[in-house]
Amino acid sequence: MEITEKAPAKLNLFLDTPFNHDDGLPEWNMIMTSVDLADYVKIESISGKKGIKVRTNTGFLPNDHRNLAYQAARILQEKYRVRAKVIIEIRKHIPVAAGLGGGSSDAAAVLRGLNKLWKLNLSLEELAQIGLEIDSDVPFCVYSRTAHVLGKGEKVIPLKKLPPMWVVLAKPKLSVSTPYILSKIEHKELQHSNIDLMLDAIDREDYDSICRCMGNVLEQVTGKEHPEVLKIKDRIKQYGADAAQMSGTGPTVFGICSKSSRAKHIVNSLKGFCHEVYLVRIL
């Protein structure tokens, strides 16, 4: 038995972290959405056999328990005592360690896929709770639709579909370690924006207000370590994006445009200046 699941990249339209919990994990207050840049995760289950095998089309990603897709399969295998070998083949399209949640989305795809293959009949809410054991972004990725995400990532409140827009993703040639950036946060120094204004803008389907109300409190933190990220953001704005912002802990910066011609102009202008550039749509 096999199934292929799409694992879309995520963007943080809004990201704030008001404090750290006693266990060191951040409290999140985020608005996340998914775009049509995706990995493809083929999951095969062979009953009566044991083990988990992961293959990717990259030379550098781990194929063992360090791969988040592997962890997803192991958790379901153990929790529901399924005697079956799982073979996972990941075709990566999402840049790695980019702030686009590729690993989390692959893990969520495995949870959704095995839920179907093994007829576990778990709801998306149940899969999301299981996903939290892997990474704070996995619960969101189980749904992969625009949502308000709170707590340690476990509270995912679906929001209205966003107005149509074109999104330019620009990833400089550097990888950012999420744990490192999180360790650099000084909560007292962060300049917080108001998420309620953004929630209201989405509810009113007001594209201009959405552009005005975006914010990512970690831009200051990553930008201090990697000023290139802020330079790319400035360029995207100069080239005419309606708004631009870093996603997650970076380094990918995205620009949004209501007009496809403007977005294409930005993509062309960034070529040569930025290592990887993509033109995508919100799902």
Nearest residue to 202 (alpha-carbon basis) of 15, 9, 31: 31
35 binds ligand ATP (CB under 6 A): no
* Distance in angstroms (rounded) separating the CA atoms of residues 256 and 40: 25
Contact map string, positions 169 to 188, toward ligand ATP, x by CB under 6 A? ---------x----------
Q: Any contact of residue 86 with ligand ATP (CB under 6 A)?
A: no
Among 45, 67, 144, 222, binds ligand ATP (CB under 6 A): 67
10 catalytic, yes or no? yes
Contact assessment for residue 65 and residue 74, using Cβ atoms and an 8 Å cutoff: yes
**DSSP secondary structure string for all residues of 69-113:** HHHHHHHHHHHTT--EEEEEEEE--SPTTSSS-HHHHHHHHHHHH
Q: State in angstroms the smallest separation of the CB of 241 from ligand ATP.
A: 21
- Check binding of 69 to ligand ATP (CB under 6 A): yes
Q: Residue 19's CB: how many other CB atoms inside 10 A?
A: 8
Neighbouring C-beta atoms of residue 101, cutoff 10 Å: 29
Residues 120-149 that bind ligand ATP (CB under 6 A): 135, 137
In the list 13, 35, 73, 101, the residue contacting ligand ATP (rule: CB under 6 A) is 101
CB of 28 to ligand ATP, least distance (A): 11
Give the residue with the Cβ less far from ligand ATP, 99 or 131: 99
Q: Which one among 96, 159, 190, 283 touches ligand ATP, defined by CB under 6 A?
A: 96
Closest CA to 155 of 25, 21, 68, 27: 27
One-letter amino acid identity for 75?
A: I
Which residue in the set 8, 102, 223, 255 belongs to the binding site for ligand ATP (CB under 6 A)?
102
Q: Which of 39, 106, 137, 242 is catalytic?
A: 137
d(CA 75, CA 43): 15
DSSP string spanning 245-269? EE-TTSS-EEEEES-HHHHHHHHHH
Q: Does the annotation flag 48 for ligand binding?
A: no
- What contacts 180, CB < 8 A, 6 or more positions away? none
Candidates 97, 120, 190, 230; binder of ligand ATP (CB under 6 A) is 97
Stretch that binds ligand ATP, among 20-28, 96-104, 149-157, 215-223 (CB under 6 A): 96-104
Q: For ligand ATP, which residue of 84, 127, 249, 277 counts as binding (CB under 6 A)?
A: 249
Helices first, then strands: H and E counts in the chain? 10, 11
Residues annotated catalytic, as ranges: 10, 137
Point out which residues bind ligand ATP (CB under 6 A). Answer: 61, 66-69, 90, 96-104, 106, 135, 137, 178, 248-249
Task: Enumerate the known binding-site residues for ATP.
Answer: 95-105
